[in-house]
Structures are given as C-alpha cells and as structure tokens.
Structure 1
Amino acid sequence: MTRAVLIGPPGSGKTTVGRLLAERLGVGFRDTDADVEAVAGKPVSDIFVEDGEERFRELEREAVRRALAEHEGVLSLGGGAVLNEETQALLAGHTVVYLQVGLADAVQRVGLASARPLLVLNPRSQLKRLMEERRPVYERLAVLTVETDKREPAELADEIVKGLPA
C-alpha cells in the first residue's frame, strides 16, 4: 500500500515535498501528472489545449487508479484529481496528506505566468476560486493536514514523517 498520498492545490508543494518525504522514508516517489504526460506523450498543458479537460481527467483517473494499485511509496496527485468520486473512493484507507497553502504563498510558488492550464485567464482569481472549491474535499479526504505557508519543504517532510501511522 502507498505510504502517503499528497493532495492539495497548485503551489502547495506536493512534488517538492513528496520527493523529500520519499527520500526520508526510503521509498519511491510518483507523480500522477507525470504518469499522465508519459501516457499521452505530451505535457498536461498541451493535453488541456489539444484534447480538452475532460480527456485529461480521464487520463488522470486512470493514472491515480493504477498508481494506488501499484506504487508503495509516496504519491503526489494533481490538484483536481480528488474531485472525481471514483478517485475519492479509491483513496479510502490510504494515508492522505493535505498540504494546505494560503493564496499568497500559492501565487508566489506557482507564478502568475505559469503554464498551468486552469490558471490561464486571471491566474490569481482562478487559483483563489480553485482553492475555495476544492478545500472541503481536501479536508474531508485528509488523514493528516500540514500547513505549508512560510515553511521550508524539508520541515514539511519531517512533520509528515512524524504524523504518519507506524
């Protein structure tokens, strides 16, 4: 079973913290966005533009399903993956860690000129909306919630290690 599944909005540090966490636990790291890109043969932003969000979400659901079944290390999910009810059901019984981030820190980390497809028009406003819409889902799914604002990734990884079930 996967040791930890990291969820949270863009800019919460899922990939950066996930890699450090995996290193500390001596396990592998896997990112479902990278899995989707490998299957599609193109970046997430191109999938959105060329194939649409619906196709991306199909690929994402399959990537999450496969990763939860196969991967025994640390898994990072794309920010919107948890919106799918099937995915929510698959996460039951896993150690889900919600990396909580405030808007100011998320904007700083993501950058407003980013290639993130859902943040194209008025990125700050879009990010704020996404964070507000998704927060209740993140909170409901989380076994452990870690506040990331003004904190270093190494400190976050250490806190998660301490909070993981034995």
Structure 2
Amino acid sequence: MTGPAVVLVGPMGVGKSTVGALLAERLDVVFRDTDQDIEAAAGKPVSEIFLDDGEPRFRELERAAVRTALAEHTGVLALGGGAVLSEQTRALLARHPVVFLEIGLAEAVKRVGLDAPRPLLVINPRRQWRQLMEERRPLYTEVARAVVSAENRTPEEVAEAVLDALELKQA
C-alpha cells in the first residue's frame, strides 16, 4: 500500500503530534504533521496565518498540504483538527488507515489550556471547543477506520491502543 501507515485525526489538544511521534518510533517510520508543513510553506505559524490571511486561506493551504502528504508520505501522519472539514480531504482519506483520537471537553481544556495560541478558541474557549466538536465529530467518525479514546490515558497507552485498533503490533 502506498501512503501513510497511519493517519491521525481529532481535535486540538488530543495529542495527535505526541502520539504520532510515538507511533512512528514504534513502527520505525517517519512522523509528519501537516500543520508543520503549512507553517514551513507559509513561513509563519498557523495562528499568524489565521490572523494575517484568514481562515479560508489557511484551509486552502491545509488542503494542499494534506493532499501532498497523503500522496508522498509513508510513515505516520497527523492532520490539523479542521482538515476533515474539506470534502476533498475526506474523499482522499477514504483510502487510508485513519484513526480518530477523541477526548471530552474537560480533558481537552486541561490539555489545551484556556490561554494557548489557538485561533479558533480565542473567545469563550469551552463553548468554542464544544461547538467545533459538534460540527467535526461526525466528520472524524466518517473518515476513521478506528476510534481511540485518549481520555485519561498516557500518550504511550494511546499509541498502543492505535496499534491494536489497526492490528499493527509487531510480533
């Protein structure tokens, strides 16, 4: 199979980057994060892209970064929390081993914090996060081969659960 060994989707703060790095290490592959790809292409952080250029421009860059990564990356890939909003991206994900990492609001607030530089959580972070999840949860579920809870688990435990869910444990 070509493309990533594992694709991680889920909300901000769920640990996609941390778990992705652990999975890559265990599978002896490279980890890649599309938010980092976007920042490298734009020459500035995601939060500045949102502020300077707007969300539509960010989403355009995100669609391109995801399309490229899915076509050329063979390791573990983490997508930004909103990547699944694109119908084109969801169609591309259908051919890949996608895992939706999920957490509840209380855990997300603990992980993300209320003053972190998250452009979509600037005003009333709890309400914004809840609203984002109401919109995105069905899309995460739609693209996922497996759903793994990160609630009250260490990143190592979540990585193990992903390996189990995709039956990627090495003998």
Normalising by structure 2, we get a TM-score of 0.95
Code of the residue aligned with 1:105 in structure 2: it is E
2:150 aligns to what? 148
CA distance in 1, matches of 2:167, 2:61: 30
Which runs of structure 2 are paired with 1:1-166 in the superposition (5 Å)? 1-165=3-167
Code of the residue aligned with 1:23 in structure 2: it is E
Give unpaired runs (5+ residues) of structure 2: none
Q: Deviations over 1:121-155 (max 9, x none)?
A: 11111011101110011111110110111100001
Normalising by structure 1, we get a TM-score of 0.98
Code of the residue aligned with 1:101 in structure 2: it is I
CA distance in 1, matches of 2:49, 2:95: 31
Q: Give the drift of 1:83.
A: 0.7
Give unpaired runs (5+ residues) of structure 1: none
Q: Give the drift of 1:120.
A: 0.6
CA RMSD between the two structures: 0.8
2:148 is paired with a residue of what secondary structure? strand
Identity percentage of aligned residues: 63
CA distance in 1, matches of 2:151, 2:93: 25
Code of the residue aligned with 2:50 in structure 1: it is F
Code of the residue aligned with 1:121 in structure 2: it is I
CA distance in 1, matches of 2:54, 2:162: 35
Runs of 4+ in 1 over 3 A off after TM superposition: none
In the comparison of the two structures, how many residue pairs are matched?
Answer: 166
